[in-house]
Amino acid sequence: MDVNSYPDKAPSGLQHYCLAQEVPRTPQALRLHRNTLTMELVWLQQAIDSRKKYLSLKDRLTETSQIE
């Protein structure tokens, strides 16, 4: 596991972000990197959608409880 990609999983004392990661150079490494980024983007979009649904539901429940 790359501790720079997952700082919350890093051992104590190693929690930092590294923005200057080495760029993959081989076709296989580039494909793997692309796939990893794709999965991270999918996860991020799912998290955003989930948060939007939660906030929408929270607003509807708040409106309903204020009416009663």
Query: To 10 degrees, the CA torsion angle through 47, 49, 53, 58?
Result: 50
Q: Which helix (H) or strand (E) holds 14?
A: none
Contacts of 1 (CB under 8 A, 6+ apart): 9
Residue 17: inside a domain: no
pLDDT band at 19 (very low <50, low <70, confident <90, very high): low
pLDDT of residue 5 exceeding 80, the answer is no
- Per-residue confidence (pLDDT) for residue 21, from 0 to 100: 73
Task: Tell me the pTM.
Answer: 0.58
pLDDT mean over 22-38: 94
13: alpha, beta or left? (left if phi > 0; alpha if psi -120 to 50):
left
Confidence of residue 3 (pLDDT cuts 50, 70, 90): very low
Instruction: Identify whether 38 is part of a domain.
Output: yes
- The answer to whether residue 48 sits within a structural domain is yes
Tell whether 33 is covered by a domain: yes
Give the range of the structural domain holding residue 52, as residue numbers without chain letter. Answer: 23-67
* Counted domains in the chain: 1
Mean pLDDT, to the nearest integer, of 26-38?
96
Position 30 scores a pLDDT of: 95
